[in-house]
Amino acid sequence: MHDNLIEKFLSKEVVFPGKIIRLEHWQVELPNGEKALREVACHPGASAVVALDDDGQIILVRQHRIAVDRLTLEIPAGKLDSPDEDPFLCAQRELSEETGMTADHWQKLTCLETTPGFCNERIHIYLATGLKQGDCHPDEDEFVDVTRMPLSQAVANVLNGTFRDGKTALAIMMAAALQGASTHTND
């Protein structure tokens, strides 16, 4: 149907074997038969959790992101320990590590391809409800502050551009849409 758009993978070479990402040069054959180079950042994947408490508050973590040099408010998230790790188990671990919480109810919302123009990272996003508080135990190089806000305020922050993190924005909007659908009644 759209075969005239498909690039064919030919070969790859590791250019940089990083701790979080691995940069590879991929040789591809273009739809017109010509060859081209693609730089691809390879990532094991991640999971993220939009956690909603019984009062309609979303749980967020504030942290400094040096790559953009600012404090951000994001949903709890973290990378898979390996590409073979179950994303659901990663989501449970990250919620516990960053917030100290566990959840009775889980629903997978989506799998986000963060930047498909040059990176193969996929973030599995879950909705967690029925929250129970425990103790936070972030990674030793992770410094976060847990905060709550009404889901409606989080939606407003997405719409006004305050929340610029893609996974957080998408998760908030999907959670809000689901919450609206579950509270809508036909009178």
> Which residue among 24, 29, 140, 142 is the active-site one?
140
Give the model's pLDDT for residue 22: 95
> Tens digits of per-residue pLDDT, 64-92?
998 999 999 999 999 999 889 999 999 99
Query: Is 140 one of the annotated active-site residues of the chain?
Result: yes
What one-character-per-residue DSSP string does 62-116 give? EEEETTTTEEEEE--EEE-SSTTS-HHHHHHHHHHHHH-EEEEEEEEEEEEES-T
Give the model's pLDDT for residue 187: 44
Domains belonging to the chain, first-starting first, are: 3-42 (no CATH), 46-183 (3.90.79.10)
User: Exposed/middle/buried for 41, CB within 10 Å: 0-12, 13-18, 19+?
Assistant: middle
**What global pTM score does this model have?**
0.89
- Length of the chain as a residue count: 187
